[in-house]
Amino acid sequence: MGRWNKVKQMSLIRQITYLSVAMLIILWLSYLISNQFAKQIIEDKVTKSVNQIFMQVEEKMQSFDTDIEGISNFLFYSPTLQAYLNTEDSLARVLGNKEVLSIFSNTMLLKENIRGIQLYDKNGAYITSLGIGSVQTIPTDSQAIQYSGLIDINISDPRNSRRSFYAVTIPVYKLDSSGIATEYAGAGRFFLDASNFSPILRSAKVTNSSQIMLLDRSNRPIAAEGEGITQELLETGKFESNAEYIVQTLTLPRSNWKLVNMIPRKELLEELDTVKRFNLIAYLIIAFITVLFLLIFFTGILNPLRELMDFIKSYPRQGGNHRFQIKKNNEIGVLGKNLNKMLDDIDYLGHEVQETQARMYEIELSKKQMEIIAFRNQINPHFLYNTLESIRAVALYYEADIIADISSSLSKMFRYAVKGNHVVRIQDEIANVREYAKIIDFRFMGRFRIDITAEEEALEENMLKMLLQPIVENAIFHGLEPKIGNGSVSIDVRRTGNGYLQFTIRDDGEGMDKQKYDKLIAQLQQSENGYLDYSSDIGIGLFNIYQRLKLIYGSDAQFRIESERHQGTVVCLAFPTNQIG
């Protein structure tokens, strides 16, 4: 923590210098580390790829070995070969030799790379053969399939002088009458041309200069694709530790031969060297840009900042009309201009503060006076209520029932309006609207109808007083009265699934055109900010409702108006239940 405090107390120039040096060091380390990681990733990817290729090569070689074993079973367990091999009569063997050689010839046609077939008795002695191959005794103690290493065979045919050969020795057993092998009877040997491995190895090459070889148990190449490894390296086994190559080996299970893949690192990482050169160039460019940045920072930013700081320190002593001298029109110059402007504004605002405070006191005094007037005006509803009750009594005395009913409804409305509590039940609010509907029905001779639909479970919920009647009144006088003919206002009260009470007041009156509708919405938004347009065509009822909803419920209150010319108007308001009481 102490070191961090020391760093924060350093000068800006030292902080920038240290930061630039640290950035260059980090860039250089990231360059080295990224190259090493990239090299390792490439080698790992190639290793995995070669492993998969080795598995495919191994499957192909095992498939070939399986074919040879199948051919050997077909050949050595045929009746002719069994009789020829199991007889002890020399004359019978001489007589049957021609037929055996004919079978050998047909068998060699099954596989192109079978160059010779030999037959040995159970003592390992040579009996007969066809094609190329060196004659030698074979051990009798090993009765399993054996793969030889590379075999040197002198062939007069120049076309086969460069080919490699190997032998597969397969034990042959005597079969009883039921076809079950009983005892060792001898062995057969196939001499095979290794050229069939070349296409397999060629398909396993990863790069153009890579080398893939099939080595026998003495590290002699039976087949190979690619050049570059000397016989001396192969015989000593040092090729596996050659740093110039990525070397992978696989030992084949049947023959114990070794499959070797050698990929030159230089060729594999050739594209990476190109990336390294680009990275190095980018590093040098970044280093140059960093030095250039430091130079620009010192001359174009740090020095002007020092001058600005000196001015700020000296201003409290000089004050007055003293201002910062702007030398350049860059960001520091803009900062200096704004500072000078701010000082000018401070001087101006200093003269305006007292006047503003005086005006605020006057406004506050006016508000208090308006509140007093509003409280005084509340006396009028009580006076009207008492007067209406008197009118109703006189009407009943003179049996003027209509006047009595109207007076009663109007009296109930005034009584409802002057109640002290601003929170009522929904059923009380609906009752007040019904009294208002009686007055409207009398005034307009039944021309307008007010329908109310409310869910029973919503009637006992609480709501703000005088929300519905002003909206209905607005619908009557601004929507239905200008309309020719009858009209209706419907009120729908229900609870929504998200815990809200929803009131929908819909009329089929004249509605509003787009211009008038946009003006109304704008006036509602202004009323939320405290501005109320008393000159509005629709009065202050909607604005008063809108403000009270926002005051009590805040952002939870919903107030929506929809209207089209000659299509009527819909006012929808909603608020959460159980938030007032």
Q: Where are the alpha helices (DSSP H) in 77-134?
A: 79-86, 90-108
Euclidean distance between CA atoms 58 and 278, whole angstroms: 41
**Mind listing the pLDDT tens digit for each residue in 94-150?**
888 889 888 888 888 888 888 889 888 888 888 888 888 777 767 666 678 888 888
What tens digit of pLDDT does each residue of 218-263 get? 778 888 887 655 555 555 456 666 667 778 788 888 888 888 888 7
Q: Which of 472, 405, 394 is nearest to 438 (CA)?
A: 405
Range of the domain at 108: 77-196
Q: What is the pLDDT of residue 239?
A: 61
Q: 498 Cβ partners below 8 Å, 6+ apart?
A: none
Tokens of 400: 């003027």
Specify the pLDDT at position 464: 86
Half-sphere exposure of 160 (CA within 13 A, CB side): 15
Tell me: do 430 and 539 sit in the same domain. Answer: yes
SS3 146: strand
The pLDDT score that the predictor gives to residue 559 is 92
Cβ atoms of residues 191 and 165 within 8 Å: yes
Residue 403 inside a domain? The answer is no
pLDDT at 9: 54
Assigned token pair, 492:
């729908």
Residue 318 lies in a domain: no
Residues 551 and 428 reside in one and the same domain: yes
% of the chain beyond a pLDDT of 90: 9
- Please list the residues that pair with 489 across neighbouring strands: 450, 507
In one-letter notation, the amino acid at residue 365 is L
Question: Which pLDDT belongs to residue 370?
Answer: 42
Q: List the chain residues with pLDDT less than 70.
A: 1-13, 137, 139-142, 153-162, 227-243, 268-273, 300, 302, 315-316, 318-322, 324, 328, 330-332, 350-351, 354-402, 404-405, 414, 418-420, 527-540, 579-581
Tell me whether residue 387 is in a domain. no
Domain termination residue (choose one: 170, 196, 222)? 196
Q: 190 with 228, same domain?
A: no
Q: Residue 491: which CATH number?
A: 3.30.565.10
For position 378, what pLDDT does the model report?
44
Residue 498 lies in a domain: yes
278 contacts 302 by C-beta, under 8 angstroms = no
Instruction: Say if residue 175 is in the same domain as residue 85.
Output: yes
Rounded Cα distance, 222 and 439, in Å: 116
Last residue of a domain, one of 165, 196, 227: 196
| Residue 58, domain member (yes or no) | no
Query: Residue 147's Cα: distance from chain center in Å?
Result: 57
> At a CB cut-off of 8 Å and minimum separation 6, what does 298 contact?
13
Q: Same domain for 149 and 180?
A: yes
Residue 19 and residue 459: Cα distance in Å, rounded?
Answer: 71
- 131 shares its domain with 218: no
Residues 546 and 527: their CA atoms lie apart, in Å, by 8
Task: Say which CATH number the domain at 188 has.
Answer: 3.30.450.20
Residues 254, 227: contact at Cβ < 8 Å? no
What is the tally of helices (H) and strands (E) in the chain?
Answer: 16, 16
User: What is the total count of domains within the chain?
Assistant: 3
Query: Which residue's entry shows tokens 């490894």?
Result: 229
Same domain, 458 and 570: yes
**CA dihedral for 451, 455, 458, 459, sign (positive or negative):** positive
Q: Is 152 domain-assigned?
A: yes
In this structure, is residue 356 part of a structural domain? no
pLDDT for position 374: 39
Residue after which a domain boundary falls, among 172, 196, 220: 196
pLDDT at 427: 92
Q: Is residue 82 part of a domain?
A: yes
Residues 464 and 541 in one domain: yes
Please indicate, yes or no, whether residues 238 and 263 belong to a single structural domain of this protein. yes
